[in-house]
Amino acid sequence: MKTAITPTRAENYPEWYQQVVKAADLAETSDVRGCMVIKPWGYAIWENIQRELDRQFKATGHENAYFPLFIPMSFLEKEAEHVEGFAKECAVVTHHRLEPDPSGGLRPAPSAELEEPLIVRPTSETIIGATFARWVQSYRDLPVLVNQWANVVRWEMRTRMFLRTTEFLWQEGHTVHATAQEAQQETLQMLDVYADFAKHHMAMPVIRGEKTAGERFPGAVATYSIEALMQDCKALQAGTSHFLGQNFAKAQEIKFQNEAGELVYAWTTSWGVSTRLVGGLIMTHADDDGLVLPPRLAPAHVVILPIYRNDDERSVVLPYCNAVKAELEAQAFAGEPVRVRLDDRDLRGGEKKWQWVKRGVPIRVDVGPRDVDGGGVFVSRRDVGGKGKPCPRDEFVATVSQTLDEIQQGLFARAQAHRQKATVKIDHFEEFKEFFDNQSPGGLAACHFVDVPEIEEKLKPLKVTARCIPLKGDAEFDNDDGGGTCIFTGQPSQRRGLFAKAY
Amino acid sequence: MKTAITPTRAENYPEWYQQVVKAADLAETSDVRGCMVIKPWGYAIWENIQRELDRQFKATGHENAYFPLFIPMSFLEKEAEHVEGFAKECAVVTHHRLEPDPSGGLRPAPSAELEEPLIVRPTSETIIGATFARWVQSYRDLPVLVNQWANVVRWEMRTRMFLRTTEFLWQEGHTVHATAQEAQQETLQMLDVYADFAKHHMAMPVIRGEKTAGERFPGAVATYSIEALMQDCKALQAGTSHFLGQNFAKAQEIKFQNEAGELVYAWTTSWGVSTRLVGGLIMTHADDDGLVLPPRLAPAHVVILPIYRNDDERSVVLPYCNAVKAELEAQAFAGEPVRVRLDDRDLRGGEKKWQWVKRGVPIRVDVGPRDVDGGGVFVSRRDVGGKGKPCPRDEFVATVSQTLDEIQQGLFARAQAHRQKATVKIDHFEEFKEFFDNQSPGGLAACHFVDVPEIEEKLKPLKVTARCIPLKGDAEFDNDDGGGTCIFTGQPSQRRGLFAKAY
């Protein structure tokens, strides 16, 4: 069977991914190494992600603010682990002026070298921490609950669009609390916000868990993540929430006078998701014909394609399409008007249809003269494929919201079934090795283990990493089996961790 | 009379401005030279600006996208005038890694020097133009109508919060068209969008006009701006829209096959407004007690301050306040629910009141036990000052939207009256000199002139600049007086230009 995307997932997954990004008009590589251009269709998905997350951040009491793009080099030196983690591959600003080069062209002006180099933020704990140190004086100033939407830069050697780029867009929440307990609650609350968003908006099942020591955010006391499993059975870390303890408070001098009048260090958290989510969306739902969008994040829910051969037919079909569009827009899905596009561009019908298939619009409606005569429309759903079917216009309009909901639920159920099927409890290292053998697709291995550095030696040759230790009571993964034996060291273990190859 | 802001506008306008920014909790200086931290209240105003402008951009057919933060140095070399304008003071990235410095601390790793330095975008015509060159092949691909919300960096030597900072936030629209006429129409359409936004949302009267050759955007054929007059009688350029002709198309090779099958250069435009608008908002409306917000951009329309002395009173006053809040939120202003905050923080009443005065909330409502008994509220309007007055609760709720509208209109009318009063037609250079004498406040001088470089010599010593040549038929300024004589050169002149000291 011919597919719109070549190669197929089965033939070459990484290349299929790149082709979907291209065919769906989501993004393209730019003239700057490792940086992408996010095209309008891709950016519209990101805007939908932003709008919903922003709503949830505000509903949980956070306010947006904006902090400098640049971080003085000395700030990175303050938190020892943080230096190790982030001071390595980053963009370093050393000059503030260009001047004509004697050999023609331009050069950084030697006379305009900065006294202290500036780093383009790879993350903002240090510069925001320094600000919080000014904001926080008394327990009355707490909690500070702030988020910023921003671009960040990490100089990546191997990049892949949306998944790992030198510059990417994200949000970073930063909060300050009077007690460790409050900060821990905040950390887990935001992890839940991410998990709910992934489930209900991205239709992407995720497991909430704590990262092992080796995978922790540099400088954090505990890092939590939501982990998803892509169609190729590799895991994707889709969002992280960090309990920073007093580490950054001490490095940045965030102190306050408590109710007893003592000057004490505050407790901080940070949490973020990025344009990487768009990559997760693609790898969770897209198929060999291109992108498949969950309705809640689709820039268009319905695309209407008028079909006519001459002006006479056009004069009948177009007004009909416009009327259907208006009727659909009067319907609500997920609390907002249904988003409809009418594509009347002068393109061959087949080409036009496939553009929208590849872009992943949930519902496609073809309307020709015979549909107009019969008072119907021809409806195709992106999630189920196949030929589509005729439907009376009134019925289609009246049920569109319900259909979108079905699609949203169906995509989640399908992804969840895949993830469940690919999650295996493994109790022996030999079995583990076989599971992750290069010939096998692998998946999520749930194994008893102890979090000691030695297990790295056994994981590395397999290119497998510890993804997380699922939280007790996580609805997506039951971790409560009474304990067992670490498959790597033979030591007694309290709970299983999840292991996988990962992006 | 004691004022909340010291000094007053009359005493020291620049210092008053800084104090308003501080007292209203809008922004603060950061640890990075020339960069500011935009605090939640300031950022919420910017979010309101963004939301409305974004709506208008989309309503006029534009889509958002995102382009790289970095621009290869060689890109700036391509458009000769653009180099002159933007290749000077900018942040230059020369390294992609830090390493431990032998003397302790960190340093840019000599082994990680970039082959070609990268510039942090001061504006994105070059990198976006290079992208458009790939997108545009045929007349069928046109127009391209794209906008991006982004941060930009211009290495400013003298900075002032919101008005001129090294990093600032803005939107930059970039479009490509098949004909010069279409591109010109786009340029003026977006100027109108800005002017309407300034008038109806910022309550800031602006004059639309064309910039003189010396004030043109580097590389543009024509630059248009909206110009506002601040309370200190200095002008503020609040937004610009550029007709770029084929200059950037030629530099970036944006070519397309036209309907006749010929390969021709396209015509491009760009247009932008920035966080500078927040500075304009302050200097248009704020007074000696702090910020005064036009309701359409206010993060809160109404703040409710419960007043009680003990738990008994609290148990009566708080539920009443919450009920009033719910009733207000059920009202609509400008198509959205009225935005209400209830401030129940444990602060002295006077301190609390003055915080909200300084933050510029349009309507303040005090509620004490006696108000509850009488079924009333005590209402103070920020725009008119004075003591406030009691009002029956039902009446207040029922008229709140109308009151907000009155405030919005009133602020515009006041600013317009100020601008009109400060705009003077001047026909002799001696009079011009006197008008701009350091002792006088100055204003907008409308003078006949010819746009030749020589007039610079007469303007410079006065620290006056040509602001714009008002568009024919601009509602805010009638430029049609049949011609006259250039006050600088004595040559015949077709139309008046506007001159002022400026930010």
Please write the tens of the pLDDT for every residue from A211-226: 999 999 999 999 999 9
Interchain proximity A28–B127, CB inside 8 Å: no
Interface mutation target, options B70, B90, B169, B343, chain A, most CBs of A under 10 Å? B70
**Which DSSP state fits B338?**
P
**Residue A441's pLDDT is what?**
79
Nearest residue, CB atoms, A98 vs list B36, B87, B150: B87
Compare CB distances from A93 to B31, B93, B107 and report the shortest one's residue: B93
Positive or negative torsion for Cα B441, B444, B446, B447: positive
Q: Read off the amino acid at residue B118.
A: L
Query: Within a 13 Å sphere around the CA of A97, how many CA atoms are in the beta-carbon half?
Result: 13
Nearest to A37 among B38, B67, B98 (CB): B67
Q: Tens of pLDDT along A121-167? A: 999 999 999 999 999 999 999 999 999 999 999 998 889 999 999 99
Say how far apart CA B441 and CA A105 lie, in whole Å: 45
pLDDT band for position B473 (cuts 50, 70, 90): confident
Nearest CA in chain B to A76: B106
Q: Do B43 and A65 touch (CB under 8 A)?
A: yes
User: Euclidean distance between the first and final Cα of chain B, in Å?
Assistant: 30
Looking at the partner chain, which of A30, A65, A94 has a beta carbon nearest the beta carbon of B95? Answer: A94
Chain A residues 46-85 with CB within 8 Å of chain B: 46-47, 63-77, 83
Tell me whether residues A155 and B96 touch, CB distance under 8 A: yes
- Chain B interface disruption, residue of A67, A76, A135, A355, most B CBs within 10 A: A67
Choose the weakest-confidence range: B44-58, B157-171, B435-449. B435-449
Chain A's closest residue to B275, CA to CA, is A66
Strand partners, A98: A108
To the nearest whole angstrom, how far is the Cα of B86 from the nearest Cα of chain A? 9
Q: Minimal Cα–Cα distance from B92 to chain A, Å?
A: 5
Residue from the list B43, B74, B108 with its beta carbon closest to the beta carbon of A66: B43
Q: How confident is the model at residue B167 (pLDDT cuts 50, 70, 90)?
A: very high
Pairwise CA distance, residues B490 & B471, whole Å: 23
Candidate from B40, B67, B90 with C-beta closest to A98: B90
> A130 and B74: CB-CB below 8 Å?
no
Given a cut of 90, whether residue A77 has pLDDT beyond it is no
Chain B residues in contact with A37 (beta carbon < 8 A): 65-68, 131
Is it the case that residue A83 has pLDDT exceeding 80? no
Q: Report, as an integer, the average pLDDT of A297-322.
A: 97
Q: How much is the average pLDDT of B165-176?
A: 98
Among A29, A78, A106, pick the best mutation site for testing chain B contact (most B Cβ within 10 A). A106
HEC letters along A90-112:
EEEEEEEEEEECCCCCEEECHHH
pLDDT exceeds 80 at position B7: yes
**Band of pLDDT at residue B62, cut at 50, 70 and 90:** very high
B90 touches chain A (CB under 8 A): yes
Q: Do A92 and B95 touch (CB under 8 A)?
A: yes
For an interface test with A, the pick among B22, B29, B67 (most A C-beta atoms closer than 10 Å) comes out as B67
**Which of B37, B68, B94 lies nearest to residue A30, judging by beta carbons?**
B68
Check B106 against A346: CB less than 8 A apart.
Answer: no
B67 three-state secondary structure: coil
Chain A touched by B134 (CB under 8 Å) = yes
pLDDT class of B86 with cuts at 50, 70, 90? confident
Residue A302 pLDDT greater than 90, yes or no: yes
Is the distance from CB of A194 to CB of A204 less than 8 angstroms? no
% of chain A exceeding 90 in pLDDT: 89
Q: By the CB < 8 Å criterion, does A44 face chain B?
A: yes
Segment A236-264 mean pLDDT: 97
Q: Which two tokens stand for residue A58?
A: 């505000």
pLDDT band with cut points at 50, 70 and 90 for residue A297: very high
Q: Do B37 and A65 touch (CB under 8 A)?
A: yes
Give the whole-number percent of chain A exceeding pLDDT 70. Answer: 100
AA identity, residue B479: N
Supply the pLDDT for residue B88: 78
pLDDT for residue B80 is more than 80: no
The reported pLDDT for the residue numbered A78 is: 80
**Chain B contact set for A171 (CB, 8 A):** none
- Distance between CA atoms of residues B243 and B226, nearest Å: 15
Residue B104 has pLDDT above 90, yes or no: no
Residues of B in contact with A32 (CB under 8 A): 68, 70-72, 118, 127
What residue spans of A142-271 are helical by DSSP H? 180-200, 247-252
Domains of chain B by start residue, with CATH: 13-285 (3.30.930.10), 299-419 (3.40.50.800), 423-500 (3.30.110.30)
pLDDT, residue A359, reads 98
Are the C-beta atoms of A68 and A93 separated by less than 8 Å?
no
What contacts 24+ positions apart, CB below 8 Å, involve B3-6?
B3/B288, B3/B289, B4/B288, B4/B289, B4/B290, B4/B354, B4/B357, B4/B358, B5/B288, B5/B289, B5/B290, B5/B358
Residue B74 to residue B78: CA distance in whole angstroms = 7
ipTM for the whole predicted complex goes beyond 0.85: yes
- Band (pLDDT 50/70/90 cuts) for residue B387 is confident
Strand ranges inside B6-132, DSSP E? 27-29, 36-38, 63-64, 70-72, 89-100, 106-108, 113-120
Q: How far is B228 from chain A (nearest CA, A)?
A: 26
B428 — pLDDT class (breaks 50, 70, 90): very high
What's the whole-number mean pLDDT along residues A453-473?
94
In degrees and rounded to multiples of 5, residue B226 shows phi and psi of -105, 130
Q: Is there a contact between B284 and B415 (Cβ–Cβ < 8 Å)?
A: yes
Considering only CB atoms, B92 lies closest to which of A39, A93, A130, namely: A93
Query: Which chain B positions have a beta carbon within 8 Å of A74's beta carbon?
Result: 105
DSSP state letter for B495: S
Question: Does pLDDT of B1 surpass 80?
Answer: no
pLDDT band (50, 70, 90) for residue B294:
very high
Element (H, E) at B243: strand B235-243
Of residues A69, A96, A106, nearest to B89 (C-beta)? A96
Within the 272-291 window of chain B, which residues sit less than 8 Å (CB to CB) from chain A? none
Work out the average pLDDT over B98-107.
88
In terms of Cβ atoms closer than 10 Å to its own Cβ (0-12, 13-18, 19+), residue A8 is middle
Task: Note which residues in 331-370 of chain B have CB less than 8 A from chain A.
Answer: 346
pLDDT given for residue A259 in this prediction = 94
Q: Which residue among A30, A70, A92 sits closest to B96, beta carbon to beta carbon?
A: A92
**What percent of chain B clears pLDDT 90, i.e. is strictly above it?**
89
> Residue B65: its chain A contacts at CB < 8 A?
37-40, 43
Nearest to A70 among B35, B40, B74 (CB): B35
| Segment 11-40 of chain A within 8 Å of chain B by CB | 28, 30-32, 35-40
Report the C-alpha gap between B470 and B236 in whole angstroms. 15
Q: Which chain A positions have a beta carbon within 8 Å of B105's beta carbon?
A: 73-74, 77
pLDDT greater than 90 at residue A86: no
Q: Which residues of A touch B92 (CB under 8 A)?
A: 93-98, 108
- For residue B84, the model assigns a pLDDT of 73
Which residues in B lie closer than 8 A to residue A72 (C-beta atoms)?
A: 31-32
Residue in A with minimal Cα distance to B34: A68
Predicted confidence band at B349 (pLDDT cuts at 50, 70, 90)? Answer: confident
Residue B348: is its pLDDT beyond 90?
Answer: no
Give me the mean pLDDT over the B355-372 stretch. 97
Gap between the Cα atoms of A241 and B87, Å rounded: 40
DSSP state for residue A362 in the 8-state scheme: S
Residue whose tokens read 């050697």:
A157
Q: For residue A487, which phi and psi values (nearest 5 degrees)? A: -75, -10
* Contacts across the A-B interface (CB distance below 8 Å): 187
- The answer to whether the beta carbons of residues B498 and B205 sit under 8 Å apart is no
Better-scored residue on pLDDT, B191 or A218: B191
Please state, rounded to an integer, the average pLDDT across all residues of chain B: 95
Q: What is the pLDDT of residues B108-125, one digit of tens each?
A: 999 999 999 999 999 999
C-alpha span between A83 and A76 (Å, rounded) = 5
Mean pLDDT computed over every residue of chain A: 95
Cβ-in-10-Å burial (0-12, 13-18, 19+) of B185 comes to middle
Interval B300-323: pLDDT, tens: 999 999 999 999 999 999 999 999
Pick from B64, B94, B167: which is nearest to A95 by CB? B94
**Separation of alpha carbons B236 and A475, rounded Å:** 57
Instruction: State whether A83 and B106 contact (CB < 8 Å).
Output: yes
Question: Which of A82, A95, A96 to probe by mutation at the B interface, max B CB count within 10 Å?
Answer: A96
Using a CB–CB cutoff of 8 Å, tell me whether A151 touches chain B.
yes
- pLDDT value of residue B79: 72
Say yes or no to pLDDT of A81 above 90.
Answer: no
Please state, in angstroms and as integers, the Cα–Cα distance from residue B179 to each residue in B133, B185, B241, following that order.
Answer: 16, 10, 17
